[in-house]
Structure 1
């Protein structure tokens, strides 16, 4: 069966917003157990003791090898690649020719001419497209996530250890003190007689490591970690708890890729890309112009990633934008009374507010809710959910800088009107929820300790 291209799907529907607003694609799911105990206790574990999160199944890997692999990444990434040696990692960010965001992923430098790009497919698709069309001496091997992989297990297992006792668990499992490892650098460990690579990392504002190795060795490593964790309060965290870790640390997981413009490169890309690769738009944003949904690196806190020490797609546009970016990333803390009223509207006569599926209330891959001040839109709320550790409903948002002072009162518009044809959208009505602007990351430890190191 022929796969419809994104370009063909847009031509059939007539407008990219219409296509994405009514697609049957669901929000990204984590193909691991939803809960091992309950998601509230599992969230608490990464603050009070140690949480083990299984990342083996929900991310896509793109392994890039060959003498031009680094050049390819440098041509596409806004990041600096100076001093990016083996056993280092970085958050790779790519933009279109106008400086608007394509996506981001974590880039591991595994060997001298071998890299692993890990994350959501948006930016991985973009890189793979350039491998196929460009004049690069590069090999590419793609390992899709377990929800869409045709058959077989992942190439790597990945376990995230996070929390105050994560170091103690790892020391007990390895039988030796942890080697000094800088943030986003890698070290080798021996666990259960297997060599394990570990990235010094932090998912929810807490210290920890991302551990990975060949899939066939994963069960033995997991058993050893669980055994060592018994003495240090280790709790396995399922998909529900894991889904909101980004809200604590401040990472926006799924911005709409800015791939719908008139640039010839983008037109070629839409002919190459399958229609199902983009995902659905959900939320109260109702513009018919897809450009109104686009973000730049400056909108969501990637300022530190942008380095003008090399040529890359979109550099000229970002150099101009860097002089005065209009928006910035914030946390919005939703008003308890308004959230309670919205949830209560599900009882009795309806329609009420759009359903809140706790703890992550995002119901489309690309959540796009209006943020208002005195009735005027000042930004977009992008990802939302309930933080058990803070006992608060929050969202990550990008808003006009002049309104980004912590404590500013704004309004998030929750729901869709008119209701879209997405299968996860029931009959409901728009609901205005007051919110207070707060810093990113919202969690105090993340602001003062994790980001500061």
Structure 2
């Protein structure tokens, strides 16, 4: 990593938007096999049988241990920590002093004073910064993802089993009835003679477990799962299919961290944070004000995550915002004819539309495309791609509430800001694509059954 701080990089470039729009950092990729069969069949497996996804390599683990670990997390997280005992997990969400989103990650309570925060680096960096500057009796161990790790394999293997037959696969692998396990609660299993921890979870809104344990036991556990899966239609899913799972369940994976304001805390953080920790902005949003790219927890569906039962950074701002959040999360279903025309523009004389790299068409870490009604911007289209199970191109978006009724017609402006110097941006023209507002999660099972089972 470069020794240049984010503050120094911004001073050199002059504007955080210009820094992020022109950085060479690509969209986040999963350092596992792109496909085991083909990504269409692999997507279909989690809807019709069972998909096995290898999560061992693409996220960062931050292990926090000590008597003040829970206090550190509570000081930063908007979540409640009441009754957050061992073998529980939650989607940890942190905001800046103005209530704007820093990021989110999955927090596992592994032992009485041991926690594992797993996700993109944005929120993990924020936690480490506060640990460094605060008075907390906590030790931290950071296990980078396999794309950047230089000292051996991950600490844990992680396998996601999801789909209608996931329970049957797990019962056959363990030779035991599946225990009743609440959503985001962990249970212990024995597979191939090894103790395996399983989080009741599902990345695509389908039933399943995230299974993990010491790395050296991972091959034996994987072999047992694959053997059990032969009787239940198990399909290994590669990076291409896995990258689209969030489009079905409705999770926005990489909001821009709101760390560029004038608050003294944020200035100190930018001095501490390496510039290389920040990803690229892509898309048609063209404001020079970085605040126009920020999100709040209410913009992307974390309303029920915010609990005002403790003090945390950003609480006062969120208490005010909670009275009337202006935007809400939706799915946008892109118009088939307009998508077909954009794809067809790649043939013949150019320039055509920005290339669609199926199935995930996000080409920067922070995808930010304008959403219009009658030519006026009413929101931002975020993560986007193709769902083979629905035969639809969709995006997750945050838009003004008055336009969020399902069936409302909007327009997504697809294509890069003309001043971009990112190497992944070719000569093209922006393309207006009609879209229809739909619920989020988009898939019916995830909306009605997923969290209740």
TM-score relative to the length of structure 1 = 0.99
- Equivalent residue number for residue 141 of structure 1: 141
Residue pairs, 1:138-287, within 5 angstroms: 138-287=138-287
Q: CA RMSD in A?
A: 0.8
1:451 positional shift = 3.9
Partner of 1:341: 341
Task: Tell whether the 8 Å contact from 1:419 to 1:427 is kept in structure 2 after alignment.
Answer: no
1:302 matched to which residue of 2? 302
Report the Cα distance in structure 2 between the residues aligned to 1:352 and 1:322, rounded to whole angstroms.
42
User: What's 1:24 paired with?
Assistant: 24
2:230 partner SS: helix
Please list the CA deviations of residues 101-137 of structure 1 after superposition, one character each: whole Å capped at 9, or x if unmatched. 0000000000000000000100001001111111100
Deviation at 1:325, TM superposition (A): 0.2
1:327 match: 327
C-alpha separation in 2, matches of 1:417 and 1:91: 33
Aligned length: 453
> What is the deviation of 1:452?
4.5
5 Å-filtered alignment, 1:116-127, equals 116-127=116-127
3-state SS, counterpart of residue 200 of structure 2: strand
Per the TM alignment, residue 407 of structure 1 is displaced from its structure 2 partner at its CA by 0.2
Tell me what 1:85 maps to: 85
Residues 252-293 of structure 1: per-residue CA shift (max 9 Å, x gap): 000000000000100000001010111000000000000000
Tell me if 1:15 matches 2:15.
Answer: yes
- Residue 101 of structure 1 is matched in structure 2 by 101
Which secondary structure state, in structure 2, belongs to the residue aligned with residue 299 of structure 1? coil
Tell me if structure 1 keeps the 8 A contact 2:103–2:257.
yes
Q: Deviations over 1:74-102 (max 9, x none)?
A: 00000000000000000000000000000
3-state DSSP of counterpart to 1:7: helix
Find out whether 1:45 has 2:45 as its counterpart: yes
Deviation of 1:213 (Å): 0.2
Is the Cα–Cα contact under 8 Å of residues 60 and 144 in structure 1 kept in the other structure?
Answer: yes
Residue 24 of structure 2: SS of its match in structure 1?
A: coil
Residue 2 of structure 2 contacts residue 274 of structure 2 at CA under 8 Å; is this kept in 1? no
The 3-state SS of whatever aligns with 2:231 is helix
Deviation at 1:419, TM superposition (A): 4.8
Partner of 2:129: 129
1: CA distance, partners of 2:69 / 2:31: 30
1:425 corresponding residue in structure 2 = 425
Equivalences for 1:69-84 in 2 at 5 Å?
Answer: 69-84=69-84
1:112 corresponding residue in structure 2 = 112
Superposition deviation, residue 420 in structure 1: 1.1
Query: Are 1:419 and 1:426, in contact at CA under 8 Å, matched by a contact in 2?
Result: no
Is contact 1:78–1:95 with CA below 8 Å preserved after alignment? Answer: yes
Residue by residue over 1:133-164, the C-alpha shift from the partner in whole angstroms, topping out at 9 and shown as x without a partner, is 11100000000100111221000000000000
**What CA distance in whole angstroms lies between the structure 2 residues aligned with 1:361 and 1:179?**
39
Q: Tell me, what secondary structure is at the counterpart of 2:261? A: coil
Cα distance in 2 between the residues matched to 1:108 and 1:419: 42
8 Å Cα contact 1:419/1:428 also seen in 2: no
* Contact kept? 2:183, 2:451, Cα under 8 Å: no
Checking the alignment, whether the CA contact within 8 Å between 2:2 and 2:275 is kept in structure 1 is no
Secondary structure of the structure 1 residue equivalent to 2:298: helix
CA distance in structure 2 between the partners assigned to 1:327 and 1:368 by the alignment = 15
Long gaps (5+) in structure 2: none
8 Å contact from structure 1 (residues 103, 123) kept in 2: yes
Give the whole-Å Cα distance in 2 for the aligned partners of 1:27 and 1:361: 10
C-alpha contact (below 8 Å) 2:285/2:417 kept by paired residues: no
Deviation for aligned residue 1:202: 1.2
Unaligned 5+ runs, structure 1? none
- The answer as to whether partners of 1:419 and 1:425 remain within 8 angstroms in 2 is no
What SS does the corresponding residue of 1:232 show, helix, strand or coil?
Answer: coil
Query: Which 4+ stretches in 1 moved above 6 angstroms?
Result: none
Contact conserved, 2:62 with 2:116, CA < 8 A, in 1? yes
- 2:7 counterpart SS class: helix
Aligned residue in 2 for 1:360: 360
Distance 2:448 2:83 in 1: 27
Q: How far apart, CA to CA, are the structure 1 residues paired with 2:215 and 2:129? A: 27
Q: Secondary structure at the match of 2:372?
A: strand
- Measure the CA separation in 2 of the matches of 1:410 and 1:182: 38
